[in-house]
Amino acid sequence: MNWFSKLTGIFSTMNKHGLCIIYLLFSVAGAGQPTLPHFAIQSTKQKNIKLSWRNPHRNCVQLLIQRSIDNQKTFNTIRSATHPDMPENDFIDKKIPANKTPYYRISYTLRGGKTFFTAAQSLQDKKNGLTHIVEEPPKQIITAPKHSYVTVHPKGYVIIHVPELIKHRYHLIIYDADGSILFDIPEIKQPSLILEKGNFLRAGCFSYTLFEDDQPLEKSKFCLQAEEYP
């Protein structure tokens, strides 16, 4: 074997080992983020709280990050993911209430309406291996009657159900009691859309207007009961 063949063999071996090392590094980096319904929680150098996770669900249509500061009695949504189906993501909470122990959980909804919640976690009690899944199967979703496209589930979340999504474009505006816009959903892209009660910071009645192809289709209101907001 001449010197050129020997040199080629050495570089070939180095390339193979190099690729193995790079693959191993990426594998270790990915393994640092738990897969939903688990997520990692840690403190940053700036004293903020960082959540990170991997999402294997390419059919995820809604992902909400929720926080509780009253020992898990009430969770409020503090962030809605712009791209809920991203394979890896994280969130840094920079607005932690003073002298409070915040608990976090992630709610994610799959195409078809199935919703999951992760177990709540805080920095004080990391229990990634004890996550309990709360599942709302599609059969529990109440289909809105023909005269109403917005209903409230007995468990407190709001369901928007629109027909003939392929043929029409639907736009929903929900108003607060003072007439200000609380939610503006320019285009509903799923036949059934769920708004969790954590998005509404109080009980009471909320009016809404549903547009079909820019024409008002339904103007009405729905009410959330006080007992759902301890």
pLDDT tens sequence across 168-180: 889 999 998 888 8
How many whole angstroms separate alpha carbon 138 and alpha carbon 141? Answer: 5
Question: pLDDT at position 226, please?
Answer: 65
With respect to residue 17, please indicate whether it lies within any of the assigned structural domains: no
Residues 67 and 83 in one domain: yes
**Is residue 57 domain-resident?**
yes
Residue 209's CATH number = 2.60.40
Domain range enclosing 158 = 141-228
Residue 132 has a pLDDT of 40
User: Do 149 and 129 share a structural domain?
Assistant: no
Structure tokens at 129: 């291996």
Cα–Cα distance, 142 to 208 (Å, whole number): 19
Cα 77 from Cα 59, distance rounded (Å):
21
Confidence (pLDDT) at 176: 85
- Residue 148 within a domain: yes
* Whether 63 and 109 share a structural domain: yes
Q: Which residue has the higher pLDDT, 48 or 124?
A: 48
HSE of 78, CA atoms in CB hemisphere, 13 A: 20
| Residue 70 within a domain | yes
- CATH number where 46 lies: 2.60.40.10
Between 2 and 159, the higher pLDDT residue: 159
Q: Give a yes or no: residue 96 inside a domain.
A: yes
pLDDT by residue (tens digit) across 101-116? 899 999 898 888 888 8
**Does 61 reside within a domain?**
yes
pLDDT cut 70: percent of the chain above it: 74
Domain end, chosen from 136, 169, 202, is at 136
How many separate domains does the chain show? Answer: 2
pLDDT tens track for 30-68? 446 788 988 999 998 888 999 999 999 989 989 999 999
Q: Specify the long-range contacts of residues 181-189, CB closer than 8 Å, at least 24 apart.
A: 182/206, 185/160, 188/160, 188/162, 189/61, 189/165
Residues β-bridged to residue 117? 107, 134
pLDDT at position 166, please? 81
| Nearest one of 170, 148, 128, 140 to 31, comparing CA atoms | 128
